[in-house]
Chain A
Amino acid sequence: MGREVSESCVDNLLIEMVSSYCDRFYANKPELAARRIEAIGYQVGHQLSERYTMERPRFSDHLEAIKFICKDFWSEIFKKQIDNLKTNHRGTFVLQDNQFRWLMHMSIDPSSDGSGLSHDASGALVDNKAAQAASMRLYFPCGIIRGALTNLGIPCAVSADISNLPACSFVVRIKV
């Protein structure tokens, strides 16, 4: 095991990064804020995929790479694996984390209408403020997954669905 920092370092950095972009730099342009947060995640995912695949053979297909994201990659970041992986066998994969760590410290009313979101959505804004904050925060892990898969040779779009809190599903659509 290499160097470690306290988990609250990461938590606080993420909270502050998201609120800086949403409340200060792009206060009235949530779609721009979302794109920047996703870009930050993308860079991190790109770099992490390089690091975390160092000691392993190359993947022979998309499924193998996705499974790597669900198991080793997720474990490195969250100390747990993705709980459920589904696919329609036509290039869409749904990765479900039943207790997504980066949402656990957030107080979101589970009865509120959680919304699916994606960065190409035309902006059906969520009313619930907390759910909106959660949505904004999810652009970061979406970016991480997209960055990692892209670097592994799988260009894709990634969105998050929090309609079943505290579970969170990441929907990966591979671009053909």
Chain B
Amino acid sequence: MIVCVAVVGQQNNPLYIQSFTEADDALKLHHIVHCSLDVVDERVNNPKKSGPMLNETFLGLLYPTENYKVYGFLTNTKVKFILVTTDLDVRDADVRNFFRKFHAAYVDAVSNPFHVPGKKITSKTFAERVSNIVKSFGMGSTG
């Protein structure tokens, strides 16, 4: 189950963060997202470590914690997407598929002429699309 997704801007400024848990652990999740940004920076600045994934937008598993797995994605425009899941057995293809759809939703949201670059994404359409993508995670749907 996906418990949190986030979009983080070029200056590590949060553009969108949404948790999907009943539990009151938003603070903890925000902390995990925050910590993952350092891992992204490290990966990108030391490309040798990432080997064959050089310059690929999908950054793969950033780090596992005891209860969560954290995945990252970095667009050409230096915007980071973070995915936090409680699933222990996650297929790589599912995560890639998730980011592909999430990216498309993000690109449409910032194509709104009234969206101001670098400002938080407040679009209701985006929130709905994200929620649907999160729900369909791992279900093998391609929509």
Contact = CB atoms under 8 A, between A and B. Distances in A.
Whether A and B touch directly in their complex, counting CB atoms under 8 A apart, is answered as yes
Contacts of A58: 55-57, 74-76
Contact of A54 (B54, B56, B104): B104
Contacts of B76: 49, 53, 56, 58-59, 152
B113 to A, nearest CB: 7
Per DSSP, are chain B's interface residues mostly helix, strand or loop, or mixed? Answer: loop
A125 B111 CA distance: 35
Contacts of A46: 117
Interface in B42-62: 54-57
Nearest to B76: A53
Interface string B94-114: 000000000110010011010
B113 A43 contact: yes
B64 to A, nearest CB: 24
Say which size band chain B's interface belongs to: 10 to 19
Interface residues of A, number: 16
A5 B74 CA distance: 32
B111 A47 contact: yes
A53 B77 contact: yes
A49 B78 CA distance: 12
A49 B77 contact: yes
A110 interface: no
Contacts of B74: 58
B12 interface: no
A107 interface: no
Contacts of B57: 56-58
24 contacts: A47-B110, A47-B111, A50-B77, A50-B107, A50-B111, A51-B107, A51-B111, A53-B75, A53-B76, A53-B77, A54-B75, A54-B103, A57-B55, A57-B56, A57-B57, A58-B55, A58-B56, A58-B57, A59-B76, A60-B54, A152-B76, A153-B10, A153-B77, A153-B78
Interface of A: 43, 46-47, 49-51, 53-54, 56-60, 151-153
Given A53-B76, A54-B107, A60-B54, 19 more contacts: A47-B110, A49-B76, A50-B75, A50-B107, A50-B111, A53-B77, A54-B104, A56-B76, A57-B54, A57-B55, A58-B56, A58-B57, A58-B76, A59-B55, A59-B76, A151-B117, A152-B77, A153-B77, A153-B78
